[in-house]
Amino acid sequence: MRTAVYAGSFDPPTNGHLWMVERGLEMFDRLVVAIGDNPNKSYTFSIPERLDLLKRSFPACERLTVTHFDNRYLVDYAVEHDARFILRGIRSQADYEYERMMRHVNYDMAPDITTVFLMPPRDIAEVSSSMVKNLIGPEGWRDTVHRYVPPPVFDALEEKLGE
């Protein structure tokens, strides 16, 4: 069984994340979507809130697991879940440079884990969680943000950050 781990902060989940999950399910027998927790970061949504948003954003699928991890390296987490692949998205040259470096570090730690890179289509290539949060506030933000996130996420953003 080919298992992959797709990890991120997902704060909040975006349509780009959904695209990655859909492609991951096409490519792998099992996909573990894992929320990473960085104690040095400030998050808009708690881990339980992000878990809930992810679960409500994806159609139910027995091959998909949504979970979280903290205080471990992603490759160690992948090994714990019998994953042979790490799925990563590349939106820009900066993403590429960072992901290339991390792929080499991960290989040094776990040479049996293969990193698979995907590039999203142009219409969502620039979408990031940070970008979405930065769009909230000005007049008309709802019409803009609605394009970039799944409906459950939009509702949660409106409730938490909307005025």
Residues 6+ apart with CB under 8 A from 43: 9, 11, 50
Asked about 133 being catalytic, the answer comes back as no
Choose between 62 and 60: higher pLDDT.
Answer: 62
Asked about 55 being catalytic, the answer comes back as no
Distance CA 128, CA 143 (A): 17
Domains of the chain: 3-125 (3.40.50.620)
- DSSP 3-state assignment of 25? helix
19, 20, 30, 31, 161 from 26: Cα distances, Å: 11, 10, 10, 10, 34
Asked about 103 being catalytic, the answer comes back as no
Catalytic residue among 56, 81, 84, 91: 91
What are the tens digits of pLDDT across the range 105-153?
Answer: 999 999 999 999 999 998 888 889 999 999 998 999 999 999 999 999 9
